[in-house]
Structure 1
């Protein structure tokens, strides 16, 4: 085992950039230069699209990875954990109509324990599996 040079052990230099993509998307935030010389989004930043989608949060390997907030043009909002551009981990998804799900996500799907608040404000809890929620229970406020 040989000791690496100081250059090999050094963390990549973080740059702050503002970049507009050919499709009109805009990224403002941190990035690093990879070995091929290309810049990748790494660190924290804001990505916006011309049609009204905004992501504010953590980036790793040029993808949404870590904690962030994604606002859709429909008014829907997801706040929580991301992995490789997907909702993955714990998070809260608020629908445009005001209904809300808080719980576990696996690759953009609700999966596992969570709570759902419907448009009337009624709170439901249980185990969710994509579009099904067997054994869902209404939480009574007494």
Structure 2
């Protein structure tokens, strides 16, 4: 019976295993994540105000938003998607976790806000496509090399 050392002498089997190892390493690189964040703050007067950076929020899929609003003697509403929440504040602070990019309508007074968005970026995730192709080709090549090895063992060449 042939040994592993003899099996690795077959070029197709060796190349296939190397491709599978490379595919594993490249796919593990795709898991590397980088934290990204965006923050804005300021004072809003009467009118409709769109918060956030649309380009930043469209660039990432998984993100966390936090909106902190403080005001004195003001009336405003916060619109997130189809939901509108109306607030009348007398010297207070409200912390909201928006599900979409918020819009603030200030009816009277001024509103101070801090809007923070944090996201996770996976810059090497695109290379997982290369890893997938390497995995497919490596599996086929390793299978071909292994069948050649088994054929030689059966014929007594090994």
TM-score by length of 1: 0.22
* Larger relative strand fraction: 1
TM-score by length of 2: 0.21
